[in-house]
């Protein structure tokens, strides 16, 4: 790395949890007359969190920040408070810090109970940071559940007309999945303990995993995989996602697509692949099938959507399908680019959802058939939208292209070794479909004759806070696109050691 952060900040990982937590409490207190300060409080706390996560990026040896304290330590059960960060989680931590801060900036003009709104976002950040840094299954599970609750309220308090339906659907779906996941976790922990002390730490489970039999690996992989994959989401357990996105406020959607979906794929890599290599081998064809299905199905569903935001939601399904096939290659390249795609998609989907949010509140509708010729009225909005769409369809020189290129290459590698070279055609078709729905959407919203189906008198272009947030993410998309090693450098070592442990390099 060309620059190294000179100091070691004590308790950095704990601070990543404590700062947003404090921020949430403080911001919540900014009710009533103090409402106008809520955004500043949220901005400061999320800004500090982002800077802390940025420090991690410039730390050469991440292991100095490991923290470990016993929590529940009884004769039969040991749960600890362990936080670590490694090649898999560092990009996700950075992404969380970045997106929470930028969506706070983006929503600076929120007028409806801003203290609650920003407090929920910070609370969500606690959970997200917790999921990505915890190295103890119990803590991991708690943090996993912590992310759900603020998101639930975010949708049901600040959402659109069908917000209650969407919120409850989101909650039940992901909750049922996480219960299945919990069974898997119990199975793992007790299986690894082998009758001894049930230690919930990642390390202990990993050490005990050598004793897992094939059937056990197969079954438990199935449970955990289901739990994580619903979050990603996978077809056919995906219908919560479009509903949740359509109803969620913009900042909620940004976090939901940008970081929360990645919890699923993060979990699959962290738990399923790390601990259950044999199970992974067994489930590989099914994962590939699910991934390919999600890619094609999601892309086709996008073409038929009339709501811009719903289209983007389905495109998330399609792009997360890419993450799935990439992980399922079980190769070093595949895992590396799965993580890279998680990061890339996090940045790009943030732009996409912000743009959709703006369409909703500055034009007044997101319905594609009602729009048209908007580029003439809102040039800056159009530029951002085009940038986001182009990045998402994999324009070379932007971050999404390298992710897709690496993924399809590793998938090609897999399909050659599996003697099914034609599988690659599905990926290429999905690329084509992706270009199709984005360009068609742009043609119908931005270009062509100016719409006369809606009232355009109150239309206004991008406001300053929105432009700052979008501009920052777009700059990062271009930066990582020109210099993908900035992100790949973190992941490389982790991916190759994981692939080595999977027995496939």
Partner 1 sequence: MFVEYTWLIPLVPMLCFVIVGFFGKKMPEGGGHVAIFGALFAFAVSVLVAYEFFTSAAYSAPGYVTAQIAWFSIGDFGINVGYYIDSLSCLMMLFASFISTLIFVYSIGYMHGEGVKKRRYYAEVSLFLTGMLGLAVSSNFLEMFVFWEVMGLCSYLLIGFWSFTHPSGDDAADNAASAAKKAFLVTRLGDVCLMGGLFILLYAFGSLDYLTVFDTAAMAAVDPNMVLLASLLIFGGVIGKSAQFPLLDWLPDAMAGPTTVSALIHAATMVKAGVYLVARCFPLFTQNPELMLFVGIIGGITAFFAATMALNNMNIKKVLAYSTLSQLGYMFLALGAGGYMMALGIQSGDTHLIAAGAVGYTAGCLHMANHAFFKALLFLGSGSVIHSAGTEDMREMGGLHKKMKITSVTMLIGSLSIAGFPLFSGFWSKELVLETAMHAGSYGVEGYLFTAMWVLAVVTAFMTAFYMFRMWFMTFKGKPGHGTEHCHGESPKSMTVPLIILSVFAAAVGCMILFGFDEYITTGINAAGQFQVGSGHGHGMTGWLEDIFMSAYTYLTVALVLIAIGIAYLMYSRKSVDPGKINRNGNSLIYRALSNRWWFPQLYNQIGWKLGYGVAKGVEFVDRQVIDGTVNALSSAVVGSGESLSKTQTGNVRDYAAVVMAGIVALFILTVVLFYLMGGA
169-188: which residues touch partner 1 (CB under 8 A)? 169, 171-172, 175, 179-180, 182-183, 186-187
Rounded Cα–Cα distance for residues 312 and 301 (Å): 10
Q: Per-residue x/- mask for partner 1, residues 448 to 467, rule CB under 8 A?
A: xxx-----------------
| Cβ at position 105, least distance to partner 1 in Å | 21
Stretch that binds partner 1, among 67-75, 165-173, 261-269, 278-286 (CB under 8 A): 165-173
Asked if 293 touches partner 1 (CB under 8 A), the answer is no
Residue 398 CB, shortest distance to partner 1, in Å, is 10
501 binds partner 1 (CB under 8 A): no
Q: Tell the smallest beta-carbon distance from residue 347 to partner 1 (Å).
A: 17
Q: In angstroms, what is the minimal distance from the CB of 335 to partner 1? A: 10
Segment 188 to 207, residues that bind partner 1, using CB under 8 A: 190-191, 194-195
Using the minimum distance from each CB to partner 1, give the nearer residue, 263 or 487: 487
Find the part of the chain contacting partner 1 (CB under 8 A) among 36-44, 52-60, 122-130, 328-336: 328-336
By CB under 8 A, is residue 333 in contact with partner 1?
yes
Task: Tell me how far apart the alpha carbons of residues 480 and 302 are, in angstroms, rounded to a whole number.
Answer: 26
- Indicate whether 285 belongs to the interface with partner 1 (CB under 8 A): no
Whole-angstrom distance, CA of residue 167 vs CA of residue 368: 24
For partner 1, which residue of 213, 285, 493, 503 counts as binding (CB under 8 A)?
Answer: 213
Alpha-carbon distances, residue 71 vs 68, 80, 82, 356, 451 (angstroms): 9, 5, 9, 44, 61
- Asked if residue 236 has a cis previous peptide bond (ω within 30° of 0), the answer is yes
Q: Which is nearer to partner 1, 97 or 400 (CB)?
A: 400
CB of 19 to partner 1, least distance (A): 28
Judged by CB under 8 A, does residue 484 bind partner 1? yes
Please answer whether residues 86 and 59 qualify as being in contact, where contact means their C-beta atoms are separated by less than 8 angstroms: no
Find the shortest distance in angstroms from Cβ 372 to partner 1. Answer: 9
Q: At a CB cut-off of 8 Å and minimum separation 6, what does 435 contact? A: 393
Of 86, 203, 367, 413, the one binding partner 1 (CB under 8 A) is 413
DSSP calls for 53-117: HHHHHT-S-GGGG-EEEEEEE-SSEEEEEEE---TTTHHHHHHHHHHHHHHHHHTTT--SSHHHH
Give the whole-angstrom CA distance, residue 307 versus residue 368.
6
Give the whole-angstrom CA distance, residue 310 versus residue 314. 6
| CB proximity list for 275: less than 8 A, separation 6 or greater | 188, 205, 206, 209, 212
Site for partner 1 in 52-111 (CB under 8 A): none
């Amino acid at each position: 790395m060309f620059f190294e952060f000179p100091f070691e900040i004590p308790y950095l990982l704990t601070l990543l949890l404590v700062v947003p937590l404090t921020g949430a409490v403080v911001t919540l207190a900014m009710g009533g007359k103090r409402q106008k300060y809520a955004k500043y409080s949220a901005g400061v706390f999320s800004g500090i969190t982002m800077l802390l996560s940025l420090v991690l990026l410039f730390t050469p040896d991440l292991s100095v920040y490991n923290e470990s304290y016993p929590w529940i330590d009884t004769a039969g059960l040991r749960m600890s408070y362990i936080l670590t960060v490694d090649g898999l989680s560092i990009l996700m931590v950075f992404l969380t810090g970045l997106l929470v801060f930028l969506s706070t900036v983006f929503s600076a003009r929120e007028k409806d109970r801003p203290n609650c709104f920003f407090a929920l976002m910070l609370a969500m950040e606690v959970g997200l940071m917790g999921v990505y840094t915890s190295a103890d299954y119990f803590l991991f599970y708690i943090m996993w559940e912590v992310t759900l609750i603020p998101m639930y309220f975010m949708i049901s308090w600040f959402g659109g007309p069908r917000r209650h339906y969407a919120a409850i659907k989101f909650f039940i779906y992901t909750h049922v999945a996480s219960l299945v996941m919990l069974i898997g976790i119990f199975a793992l922990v007790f299986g690894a303990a082998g009758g001894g002390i049930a230690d919930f730490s990642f390390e202990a489970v990993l050490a005990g995993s050598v004793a897992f039999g094939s059937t056990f690996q197969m079954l438990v992989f199935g449970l955990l995989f289901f739990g994580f994959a619903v979050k990603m989401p996978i077809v056919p357990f995906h219908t919560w996602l479009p509903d949740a996105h359509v109803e969620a406020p913009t900042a909620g959607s940004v976090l939901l697509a940008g970081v929360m979906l990645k919890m699923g794929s993060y979990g699959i890599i962290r738990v399923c692949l790390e601990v259950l290599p044999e199970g992974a081998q067994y489930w590989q064809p099914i994962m590939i099938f699910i991934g390919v299905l999600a890619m094609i199905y999601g892309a086709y569903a996008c073409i038929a959507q009339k709501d811009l935001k719903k289209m983007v939601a389905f495109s998330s399904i399609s792009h997360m399908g890419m993450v799935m096939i990439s992980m399922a290659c079980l190769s070093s390249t595949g895992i590396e680019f799965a993580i890279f795609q998680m990061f890339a998609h996090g940045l790009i989907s943030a732009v996409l959802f912000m743009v959709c949010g703006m369409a909703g509140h500055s034009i007044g509708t997101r319905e594609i058939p009602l729009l048209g010729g908007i580029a003439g009225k809102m040039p800056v909005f159009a530029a951002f939208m085009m940038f986001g769409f182009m990045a998402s369809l994999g324009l070379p020189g932007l971050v999404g292209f390298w992710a897709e290129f690496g993924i399809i290459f590793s998938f090609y590698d897999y399909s050659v070794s599996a003697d099914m070279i034609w599988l690659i055609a599905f990926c290429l078709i999905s690329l084509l479909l992706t270009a199709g729905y984005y360009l068609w959407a742009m043609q119908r919203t931005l270009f062509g004759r100016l719409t006369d189906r809606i009232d355009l008198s109150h239309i206004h272009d991008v406001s300053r806070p929105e432009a700052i947030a979008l501009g920052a993410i777009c700059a990062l998309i271009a930066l990582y696109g020109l210099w993908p090693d900035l992100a790949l450098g973190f992941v490389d070592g982790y991916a190759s050691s994981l692939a080595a442990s999977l027995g496939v390099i």
